[in-house]
């Protein structure tokens, strides 16, 4: 297969590139990894030129673009008009450009989206969310991500995989796990939100899943993939403390109202893996097991 990874310098992109270059990768596979410095995904000419050049290079087999580029500074996007415009360009317009370039060249696009696009279930029901559940994005980031999904579907209807995920953390870059580990050394106690529910997702596991989906015979569509099970931010913080061997009593639960943020967070974003498994792809491992593996293989996560 021929692979292109955009956003290759981010946490998820780094894991995708590592997986595609790891021992055991089919020797005929070829990889083009593009960081933000290599490709401005918001530049139409650059995107189309990069995809054309990639497809024209030596190589055989199906061609797959995995778009891991995203603007994720959700609070800044709400408070700074320039940041909001950048979020829209990267999250909404760029996926459409990539999809159009893939359509012109006969490639498949795997596009990563987010739980933020989904809305609350009717009547306050709480069950794992399916791809067909209502979308109701609130905030600049959430609206931009849903717009990106819509543009991918419109430009590349028969050759896309849109994958919504949630609560990502990786070995590189800032994330909740790293922040909690740092604060454990700086503060006697931590107050952490306990009324937002989701599924923490280790980027290495998601990278494996995205590549397996792209290699499968699954039809185009939208699917959910996140760490198995569910918790709250408070529960995840306690798990980090547990990995540190720290006193769990130092992590105190609070509600969202105690920590107002510019961008609203979903209160319930537990994602169902039914659509994922129906595509013939193994479900991502349980989130707690994944966290232990993450800090075992990358102890620097616990250094903050």
Query: Which DSSP string do the residues of 20-33 spell out, in sequence order?
Result: HTSTTS-TT-EEEE
Q: Would you call 71 a catalytic residue per the annotation? A: no
CA–CA dist 206, 203 (Å, integer): 5
Give the helix/strand (H/E) hosting 207.
helix 203-215
Residue 239, phi then psi, degrees to nearest 5:
-65, -40
194, 185, 201: which is closest to 291 by C-alpha? Answer: 201
- What DSSP character marks residue 35? -
Dihedral of the CA atoms 203, 147, 275, 177 (nearest 10)? 20
If we measure between CA atoms, which residue out of 286, 264, 278 comes closest to residue 131? 278
Q: Please give the Cα distance from 230 to 224 (Å, whole number).
A: 14
**Of 71, 116, 141, 169, which one is the catalytic site residue?**
141
Distances (CA, A) of 147 to 29, 102, 163, 175: 32, 18, 14, 25
Q: Which tokens sit at 77? A: 């996007």
CA separation for the pair 215, 281 (Å, rounded) = 10
Whole-number Å distance between alpha carbons of 34 and 243: 34
Q: How far apart are CA 113 and CA 285, in angstroms?
A: 19
Q: Helix, strand, coil % (nearest 5) of the chain?
A: 45, 20, 35
Catalytic residues: 141
């Amino acid at each position: 297969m021929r692979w292109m990874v955009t956003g290759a310098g981010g946490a998820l992109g780094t894991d995708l590139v590592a997986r595609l270059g790891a021992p055991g990768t089919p020797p005929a596979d070829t990889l083009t990894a593009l960081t933000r410095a290599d490709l401005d995904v918001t530049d139409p000419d650059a995107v189309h030129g990069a995809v054309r050049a990639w497809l024209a290079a030596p190589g055989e087999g199906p061609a797959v673009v995995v778009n891991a580029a995203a603007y994720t500074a959700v609070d800044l996007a709400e408070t700074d008009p320039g940041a909001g415009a950048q979020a829209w360009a990267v999250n909404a317009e760029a996926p459409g450009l990539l999809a159009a370039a893939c359509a012109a060249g006969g490639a498949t696009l795997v596009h990563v989206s987010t739980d933020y696009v989904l809305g609350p279930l009717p009547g306050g029901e709480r069950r794992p969310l399916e791809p067909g559940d209502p979308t109701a994005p609130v905030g600049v980031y959430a609206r931009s991500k849903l717009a990106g999904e819509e543009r991918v579907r419109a430009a590349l209807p028969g050759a896309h995989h849109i994958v919504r995920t949630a609560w990502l953390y990786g070995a590189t870059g800032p994330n909740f796990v790293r922040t909690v580990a740092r604060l454990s050394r700086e503060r006697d106690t931590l107050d952490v939100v306990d009324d937002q529910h989701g599924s923490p997702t280790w980027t290495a596991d998601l990278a494996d899943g995205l590549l397996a989906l792209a290699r499968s015979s699954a039809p185009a569509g939208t699917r959910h993939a996140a760490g198995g099970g569910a918790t709250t931010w408070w529960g995840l913080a306690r798990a980090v403390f547990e990995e540190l061997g720290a006193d769990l009593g130092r992590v105190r639960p609070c509600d969202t109202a105690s920590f107002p943020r510019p961008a609203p967070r979903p209160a319930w974003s537990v994602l169902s893996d039914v659509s994922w498994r129906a595509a013939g792809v193994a479900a991502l491992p349980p989130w707690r097991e994944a966290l232990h593996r993450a800090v075992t293989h990358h102890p620097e996560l616990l250094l903050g």
